Amino acid sequence: MNNLGKIAFFSLVIGFHGGTSWAQEGSTAVATPQPKPETPVVQDTVKVQENPFNPLMNFLPRKNYAEEDLLMSYMNLGSREDLAFFKPEVFVERSKPKYSAIKTKFNPQIELSAIPVNNEIIGYWEKKNKVGLDFNQIAFVNWSAGGDNSISGLLKGDFSRKYIKGRMIWDNTLNVRYGVNKQSDRELRKTDDVLELNSTFGYKSSAASDWYYVSKLNFKTQFTDGFNYPNTDDPVSKWLAPAYLYVGVGGEYMDSKTGIKYYISPLTYKATFVNDQTLADQGAFGVDPAIKDENGTILRHGKRSKAEVGLLVSTEWKKEIFTNIFIDTKLTLYSDYIDQFGNIDVMWDLKLDLKVNDFVRANVGINLIYDDNVKNKVERGGVQVIEGPKVQFKQTLGVGLVYSF
């Protein structure tokens, strides 16, 4: 018997049973129709309501097309179709978001001013700028012990740009200094003149290591002419005369406890530039001098540059040694592989900053240089005489204003 046959047979049996009643034995059987009570239709009021716990799961009526449910529905015996249950949405369109945006409101009880703000580092760059003016002045009026009025000033600037990302670092600094002095009727004289650029690119193999693979560049020159006073007719130095360029690769180690940096470069290129032919013909700063005949006529001009390749070792230390007392020192040693290896050029810089407040500082500076290629020039009887190489020493002491931004 097929499904439709089963449904028709059970409908006939149940309908006959529900429409007649049987009397007791001996009585007459009378078929009494029983009125069927009207059952109110159940309205599904939550058919399309949204599930408050998951917007992707609607609150829908059950849909089951099994044979038993069809039979029960056909015989009006009741079914579970009006029983609501949770049914998940299986298909979600690609453009349909899988979550709903949550609206939030500002909580006035939270003080945003208490949240720290880093306004020094933008992105991966760390920027520092410092400009300052040191000055010194002395004046005499009817001073019985005598003396010369004097005023001097030193303008300086230090600018730093550091880029840090992961294990990579790129540090750039620019140092500028220029100072003059004026005494009574004497001409204005230069006391300091420096233009120096340093660039260091480093990379370390691991985050825990203190060793960097480093490439360094250093360029140093001056702005205006320099003289051996009182002779102001024959300059001993000019713009880009001299100018020094160091480019090298090597390794740098920084002691995490003391903050001291050690750098060694087995391959460093050093170039010396003399951008003045008169000084180049004299063989100033180690370049090849001009070739002259017996009468002093120049047969071949001197070279205006000199290239060397050698070994460079340096150490650097910056630290606040006492409260408001800062030290910055650097020692550099260089020796040329080709020209007299073992003959060492020495450069030592020392700076002490004594901080009074954010705008007033006192400073002490020491510079020591020894370069076998640089010959000393002195004035004797109005004639400039070139001597051999000597230790060059400069010391400064000043008090002035400093502004950092």
**pLDDT single digits (tens) 71-127:** 455 454 444 444 444 444 444 455 555 555 555 555 556 555 555 555 544 458 899
Burial of 51 (0-12, 13-18, 19+ CB in 10 A): middle
Angle at which helices 3-19 and 67-74 cross, to 10°: 30
Nearest residue to 189 via CA among 155, 221, 153, 139: 153
Cα separation, 248 vs 199, in Å, equals: 11
In this predicted model, what pLDDT tens digit does every residue of 356-390 receive, in sequence order? 999 999 999 999 999 988 878 777 776 767 777 88
- Predicted TM-score of the model (pTM): 0.66
Q: Is the pLDDT of residue 175 over 80?
A: yes
76 or 245, higher pLDDT: 245
* Cβ within 8 Å of residue 250, ≥6 positions away: 214, 216, 263, 264, 265, 266, 267, 268, 312
Largest Cα separation within the chain, whole Å, is: 170
DSSP one-letter string for 278-319: HHHHTTGGGPPPPEE-TT--EEEPPPSEEEEEEEEEEEEEEE
Q: Residue 312's CB: how many other CB atoms inside 10 A?
A: 22
Phi-psi region of 373 (alpha: psi -120 to 50; beta: other; left: phi over 0): alpha
Residue whose C-alpha is closest to residue 306's, from 332, 345, 333, 250: 345
Which stretches of 112-168 are DSSP H helices?
A: none
User: Measured between alpha carbons, how far is 211 from 222 in angstroms, rounded to an integer?
Assistant: 34
Angle at 138 between CA 133 and CA 140, to 5 degrees: 160
Q: Residues, the chain, total? A: 405
Determine the average pLDDT of the residues in 349-360: 93
Has residue 203 got a pLDDT over 90? Answer: yes
Residues 86, 88, 89, 95, Cα dihedral to 10°:
120
> What CA–CA distance (Å, rounded) separates 308 from 288?
13
Q: What confidence score (pLDDT) does residue 219 get?
A: 97
Local confidence band at 296 (pLDDT 50, 70, 90 cut-offs): confident
Contact call for residues 68 and 85 (beta carbons, < 8 A): no
Interatomic CA distance for residues 221 and 285, integer angstroms:
12
pLDDT of residue 6: 55
Choose the weakest-confidence range: 136-140, 240-244, 382-386: 382-386
